[in-house]
């Protein structure tokens, strides 16, 4: 079974992915694959350098500068996604081949619905949380300021729309123990298919 797992910045999707992995799933984090797709010397980085040479410094992508460009300009974001996503999909397909027979495969995809990738999954799960909690978590984790976090949130799918598209919604409006309990309950339903 292929499961798509998503949620906006600071929603807690990474924590849910840890629970799913602990319960037996093969977890593929597409954020990590995206980093691999634009690593120094990669074809992905070369394509980015052709469009935005100022974003490549010392042979590596300046991720902070890239974020400034793509979260302020939807056309730039679409161009970047058009470069990175095909590489990420190929890398994810390679990782999927490592799954044991019958082992659920969970792809953690921040843009699961925006990229229509959810249509290729057997089931989709979204993690949602109140905006203020998301902002606080993202600021603590990334050291970003509130304006940057809000800009990233605005560039992502509306959580209500994501709920409507998902098969399961995990509310992350409590403590970590409650999130783990809710994630476990959803995983048990998924494992029953």
The confidence score (pLDDT) of residue 79 equals 92
pLDDT means over runs of 10, the chain (193 residues)? 95 97 97 94 95 94 89 87 92 95 95 92 97 92 86 88 97 96 97 81
DSSP element (H, E) containing 42: none
pTM of the model: 0.87
Q: Shortest CA distance to 125 belongs to which of 39, 70, 191?
A: 191
Which pLDDT tens digit goes with each residue over 42-79? 999 999 999 999 999 999 999 989 988 887 888 998 89
The confidence score (pLDDT) of residue 8 equals 92
Q: Shortest CA distance to 6 belongs to which of 150, 80, 96, 111?
A: 111
The confidence score (pLDDT) of residue 107 equals 97
Handedness of CA 82, 83, 85, 89 (dihedral sign): positive
Tell me the CATH number for domain 2-191. Answer: 3.40.50.300
């Amino acid at each position: 079974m292929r499961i798509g797992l998503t949620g906006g910045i600071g929603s807690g999707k990474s924590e849910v992915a840890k629970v799913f992995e602990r319960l037996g799933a093969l977890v593929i984090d597409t954020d990590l694959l995206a980093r691999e797709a634009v690593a120094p010397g990669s074809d992905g980085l070369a394509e980015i350098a052709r469009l935005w040479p100022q974003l490549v410094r010392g042979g590596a992508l300046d991720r902070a500068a890239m974020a400034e460009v793509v979260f302020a300009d939807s056309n730039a974001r679409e161009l970047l996604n058009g470069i990175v996503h095909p590489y990420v999909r190929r890398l994810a397909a390679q990782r999927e081949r490592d799954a044991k027979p019958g082992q659920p495969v969970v792809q953690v995809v921040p843009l699961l619905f925006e990229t229509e990738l959810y249509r290729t999954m057997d089931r989709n799960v979204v993690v949602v949380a109140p905006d203020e909690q998301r902002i606080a978590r993202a600021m603590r984790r990334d050291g970003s300021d509130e304006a940057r976090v809000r800009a990233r949130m605005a560039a992502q799918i509306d959580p209500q729309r994501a709920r409507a598209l998902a098969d399961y919604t995990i509310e992350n409006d409590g403590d970590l123990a409650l999130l783990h309990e809710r994630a476990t309950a959803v995983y048990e339903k998924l494992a029953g298919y």
